[in-house]
Structure 1
Amino acid sequence: MRLRNLIIVTVIVPLFLVLMVFSLVAIKSLEDNVRSKLETEVETISRAIGTSLGYALTRETAESLQETLQSAFSYNRIYGAYVFDLEGNEIHGLGLGEALYDDAERQSVVEAGEMRSDYHDEEGWTYFSTLMPLSSPDGKTLGVLQVNRLTSGIETYTGFLSRVALVAFGLGAAGIVLGIWWMFRRHIERPLSRLLKVMERVARGERRQRAATQGLDEFRRLGLALNHMLDALAEKDADIEARQHREIELEQRLRKSRKLAELGVLAAGVAHEVGTPLTVIEGQAQRLARQDGIGEDERRRLDRIRGEVERIVTIVRQLMDLGRQHNVEKEWLALDDLVQDARQLVEADLEARDIRLEPVLPDPPVLLLANGQQLVQVLTNLLRNASQADDVRHIRLAARHRDDSLCLTIEDDGHGIPEADRTRVFDPFFTTKPVGQGSGLGLSMAHRIINDHGGSIGAFDSALGGAGVEIVLPLEDTTP
């Protein structure tokens, strides 16, 4: 059963029934009171004139009898007064209702010696009539007095008033029920329906739905409480989603770390095996370059051999660094100083291609616990990569706080990183540069350094139109 119908059935209807019974009892009491007053008045009038009529019958004077009967009509609504002898014959009478009683009824009053009262209907009129024995001063019964009063006025309309009251009560009750129904529907049912719809939409997955905070104070407070609950759920969902992303990132970092560790083991073996031959090749090339009998062309070829050997040695060392477990020595450093050092190292590359570097750093300067040399190496590597990309004229290096971490972004306005290559840019030996112009280990080294600092690094599409790299570093020491 709906709440509206339940209230009507359990509260309104019983209340109206009680009021209706009370009204009927009140009307009935009024009717009885009116009738009682009517009967009392007629009986009093009958007794008042009965004594005078007894004296008049004793003296047997018609004039005094007539005067006494006429005096009865001075009372309100007395419509008939008659005097009968002991045999039931009329001695004298005035007004209406003579035949209300028969001779037997009059004779019974004489025999009983007591007054008799009753209601009678005659020719569409209702009378209240009394029969009273008339006695002489010595107590002898001489005749019977009949007094008739017409029951007009309120005593006649009490029944009609009862019916009118019932009809009015019914109409009033219907109006009240209709008003309560309308008020309930407008101020209770509709707000509840709106709240229910919001809950149903939230249950279907529309977590952005919120309840309207208007209307009655109770519903406004209920809407605010529901919105606060939904906001708390949204925060919990966002926190769970962020944790899931962090777990995914951590898993990816662990996979990459294992890959680099495996690569480092392989590189260590390779370095051990090729180290001696490379030393011999470099030494022989150096000895041949010092001889006086060779020409300039041969000397250039020997210098190139020595350069390529040195490049191989550098790559092998980088591979070994990728796979090693590093104990990072950290100290409190100002981010502004690290950015300035990296900027000085790439300033020549930026000026050569007329590239504008835009630093956007927090004020006051941020302090972080890190290895300055390694972070400068990461920033330098990222800035140099951005400056070497095609059609880059603007690089922006920005930093901002994110909870208890520092977020660094380096963006450019070049062509960006293809979607297919975005997940591979930190893999060893992956590069988009021509052969001989890059080893593909720079971003892998940056990933290893950031990972050693307890942070994360990733690529994204820059708002400037090109590539973007995001670095997240903890502001507190996370070394276990």
Structure 2
Amino acid sequence: MRLRNLIIVTVIVPLFLVLMIFSLVAITSLEDNVRSKLETEVQTISRAIGTSLGYALTRETSESLQQTLQSAFSYNRIYGAYVFDITGKEIHGLGLGEALYDAEELQAVVEAGEMRSDYRDDDGWTYFSSLMPLRAPDGTILGVLQVNRLNTGIENYTGFLSLLALVAFSLGAAGIVLGIWWMFRRHIERPLSRLLEVMERVARGERRQRATIQGLDEFRRLGLALNHMLDALAEKDADIEARQRREIELERRLRKSRKLAELGVLAAGVAHEVGTPLTVIEGQAQRLERRNAIGDDERRRLGRIRSEVQRIVEIVRQLMDLGRQHNVDKERLALDDLVHDARQLVEADLEARDIRLEPLLPDPPVTLLANGQQLVQVLTNLLRNATQAEGVRRIRLTARRRDDSLCLTIEDDGCGIPEADRPRVFDPFFTTKPVGQGSGLGLSMVHRIINDHGGSIGVFDSALGGAGFEIVLPLEDTPHERTPHA
């Protein structure tokens, strides 16, 4: 059952039933009181003139009877007075209602010797009539006095008034119930329905729904409380999502770190196994190169052999560094100095390919806690990769503060990185360069260094049209955020 109907059934209807019963009892009491007053008046008048009429019957004088009966009409609303003998025959009478009783009823009063009153109808009129025995001074009953009072005035309309009051009460009650229903619907049911609709939409997943603050103070406060609760839930959801993203990122970084650690273990074993053969090859090639008996072509080939051996050694060293757990020695450094040092290292590549570097650094300068040599290596690798990309004529390096972090972006206007290659750009040995022009370990080293600093790095499409790398580094030391190495 709806709240509106429940209130009407359990509160309003019982209240009006009690009021209606009380009103009916009051009207009935009023009617009984009026009738009782009427009866008392008629009986009092009958007793008042009864004694005089008894003496008049004793003297048998018609003039005394007539005068006494006429005196009864001096009372209010007495419309008939008659005197009958003991047989029921009329002796004298005045007014209306002569034939209200027959002779047998009159004789019964004589036999009973007591007053009798009753309501009688005659010719469309209602009378209250009183029959009283008339006694001689010695107590002998000589006749019967009948006094009639016409039932007019308020006592004649008490029934009609009762009905009218009942109808008026019913109409009033219906109006009040209708008014309460309308007020309940407008000021209680509709606001509750709006709040319920908001909660249902939120339950269906529309988390941005909010209640409209309007209506009575109670509903305004309820709407505000609901909105505050939804805002708190939204904050909790956002916090949970952020935590989930961080956990996913940490898990991803942990997997990559484990992968690199396993690769480092493998590289250490490879380095141990191939170290001696490589040393022998390097030594023999060097000895042959010093001989005067060989020609220039052979000496050039021996130099190529030694160069490739050094390249193998360097790759093995990078693999071992990639998988090894590092303790980063940090110090307070100015970002402008780091960018300047990295620019100096790639200046020759920029000039050779006529590429413009646009550093956009914050003012005042930002300082961060980091290992300068490693961050310069990160910036150098990313800038050098951009200079080696096809079609690059412009590189933009942007830095800005984001809460307690520093956000670095390096973008170019080249051809960009294909969508399919982005998940693999930080994997060891992944490269898009021709064979022999890259080991595929540069971005892996960049990822490892940023990870050791407690930061993150990602790839995006640059607004310049090419590739973009975003680096987020904490400005302060946050060892609790570092991803552990296996």
Question: Normalising by structure 1, what TM-score?
Answer: 0.86
Aligned residue type for 1:431: T
Cα deviation, residue 293, structure 1: 11
Residues 72 and 81 in structure 1, CA contact (< 8 A), matched pair in contact too: yes
Question: Which region of structure 1 is more displaced relative to structure 2, 453-462 or 347-356?
Answer: 347-356
CA distance in 2, matches of 1:79, 1:324: 130
Equivalent position of 1:397 in the other structure: 398
3-state SS, counterpart of residue 211 of structure 2: coil
CA-based RMSD: 3.3
Output aligned runs, 1:326-337, within 5 Å: 326-337=326-337
Per the alignment, residue 373 of structure 1 pairs with 373
One-letter identity of the residue aligned with 2:206: E
Amino acid at match of 2:15: L
Task: Tell me what 1:14 maps to.
Answer: 14
Q: Using the TM superposition, give the Cα deviation of residue 253 of structure 1 relative to its aligned residue in structure 2, in angstroms.
A: 2.0
**Alpha-carbon separation, structure 1, partners of 2:399 and 2:342:** 14
Counterpart contact for 1:110–1:143, Cα < 8 Å: yes
Residues 121 and 365 of structure 1, relative CA distance in 2, 3 Å threshold: farther
Q: Distance in 2 between matches of 1:367 and 1:178?
A: 74
Relative to structure 1, the CA distance from residue 22 to residue 281 in structure 2 (aligned partners, 3 Å threshold; closer, same or farther) is farther
Taking structure 1 as reference, are residues 157 and 365 closer, same or farther at Cα in structure 2, changes over 3 Å only?
Answer: farther
Q: Is contact 1:369-1:477 (8 Å) kept?
A: no
Deviation of residue 203 (structure 1)?
Answer: 3.1
Distance 2:324 2:277 in 1: 19
Q: CA deviation at 1:83?
A: 1.7
* One-letter amino acid matched to 1:400: R
**CA distance in 2 between partners of 1:392 and 1:55 (Å):** 148
Q: Which amino acid aligns with 1:426?
A: F
One-letter amino acid of the structure 1 residue matched with residue 66 of structure 2: Q
**Which residue of the partner structure matches residue 446 of structure 2?**
446
Are positions 1:280 and 2:283 aligned together? Answer: yes
Q: Deviations over 1:240-279 (max 9, x none)?
A: 3333332332232233223333333444434614541564
Aligned-partner Cα distance in 2 for 1:86–1:39: 24
| CA apart distance, 1:81 | 1.1
Aligned partner of 2:471 in structure 1 is 471
Q: Which digits, 9 at most, give the CA deviation of each residue in 1:177-222, with x for residues without a partner?
A: 3333333333333333333333333333333333333333333333
Number of aligned pairs? 475
- Show the counterpart of 2:91: 91
Deviations 1:351-383 (A, max 9, x none): 65342424243x665443321110121122223
Contact 2:133-2:145 within 8 A present in 1 as well = yes
Whole-Å Cα distance in 2 between the matches of residues 369 and 394 of structure 1?
Answer: 26
- Is the Cα–Cα contact under 8 Å of residues 355 and 392 in structure 2 kept in the other structure? no
Q: CA deviation at 1:80?
A: 1.0
Instruction: Give me the identity figure in percent.
Output: 80
TM-score normalised according to structure 2 size: 0.85
> Is 1:186 aligned to residue 189 of structure 2?
no
Could you tell me which amino acid in structure 2 is paired with residue 157 of structure 1? Y
Name structure 2 gaps, 5 residues minimum.
none
Whole-angstrom distance in 2 between the partners of 1:277 and 1:428? 28
Does structure 1 conserve the Cα–Cα contact (< 8 Å) formed by 2:133 and 2:144? yes
In the alignment, the residues of structure 2 paired with residue 109 and residue 439 of structure 1 have an alpha-carbon distance, to the nearest angstrom, of 141
Structure 1 residue matching 2:214: 3-state secondary structure: coil
Matched residue, 1:429: 429
The residue type equivalent to 1:236 in the other structure is K
Residue 108 and residue 267 in structure 1: after superposition, are their counterparts in 2 closer, same or farther (change >3 A)? closer
1:336–1:42 CA distance, 2 compared to 1 (3 A) = farther
Q: How does 1:102-117 map to 2 (within 5 A)?
A: 102-117=102-117
Once residues 259 and 274 of structure 1 are traced to their aligned partners in structure 2, the CA distance between those partners, rounded to angstroms, is 27
Matched-pair contact (CA < 8 Å) for 1:82–1:146: yes
Query: How far is 1:313 from its partner?
Result: 4.5
- Give 1:398 deviation, angstroms: 2.5
> Which residues of 2 match residues 122-137 of structure 1 at below 5 A?
122-136=122-136
Q: Is the 8 A contact 2:355 2:387 kept in 1?
A: no
1:339: how far off?
A: 3.2
Moved more, 411-420 or 259-268: 259-268
Q: Secondary structure at the match of 1:78?
A: coil
Q: d(CA) in 1 for partners of 2:73 and 2:214?
A: 74
In the TM superposition, residue 413 of structure 1 has moved relative to its aligned partner by 3.8
Give, in whole Å, the separation in 1 of the partners of 2:281 and 2:250: 38
- Cα 1:277–1:261 change in 2 (3 A) is farther
User: Structure 1 residues 435 and 183, CA, compared in 2 at 3 Å: closer, same or farther?
Assistant: same
Letter in 2 for 1:339: V
Quote the residue 1:157 is aligned against. 157
Q: Give unmatched runs, 5+ long, in structure 1.
A: none
Contact kept, 8 Å, 2:392 with 2:412, in 1: the verdict is no
Mapped to 1, the partners of 2:409 and 2:331 lie a distance apart of: 22
2: CA distance between counterparts of 1:55 and 1:348?
157
Distance 2:54 2:442 in 1: 145
